[in-house]
Amino acid sequence: MDNHKLFNKLITFTNAVYRVTEELTKEAKPNVLTQIQFDILDFIARNQPVTLSEICDCTHLSMPNASRELRKLGENDLIEKKSDVDDRRKQYIYMTSSGEKMIEDAYKLIKVNFDNRIKDISKEDLDEINYAIDKLQSKFYFDR
């Protein structure tokens, strides 16, 4: 197995992941939000509390643009900001309960799509899938 074959296999695999992910997440985004707004909300949901700077680092948005989108999320009562007591320049961003609910509902729909996709897969194959994900996550898709 040379690197080139593995490389090409990874390209094909990545395309498949993107295609299936799109199928699973299709229609999960609420219409009141743009894709970027939903991505930001999702990022906050899994990392809260976060600062605006952290959002910018992780989403490649500039501060002004991230600030603008965050303002819209705030206007929709999906997030709220609280000033840091120690450093009053910083704003810690939290989900509101309606923000939490919006993300929960989105994931519920994704879960339905997921259940539908695996409904005909045998227990043994699911175990293999589980094992393979662990392998890839630890051996290749790790942080650094």
Applying CB under 7 A, the residues found at the interface with DNA are: 34-37, 51-53, 61-65, 67-71, 81, 86-91
Q: Looking at 31, 37, 111, 116, which residue binds a copy of itself (CB under 8 A)?
A: 111
- CA 75 to each of CA 51, 53, 55, 71: distance values in angstroms, whole numbers, following the listed order: 18, 20, 18, 6
C-alpha closest to that of 102 among 20, 39, 21: 39
| Residue 25, SS3 per DSSP | helix
Q: Between 58 and 77, how does the x/- string for binding to a copy of itself read (CB under 8 A)?
A: --------------------
* Residue type, position 136, single letter: L
Closest CB to a copy of itself among 32 and 121?
A: 121
Cis ω on the peptide bond leading into residue 64 (within 30° of 0)? no
Beta carbon of residue 91, minimum distance to DNA (angstroms, whole number): 4
Residue showing tokens 């996550």: 137
Interface residue list for a copy of itself (CB under 8 A): 1, 3-4, 6-7, 9-14, 16-17, 19-21, 107, 110-111, 114-115, 117-118, 121, 125-137, 139-143
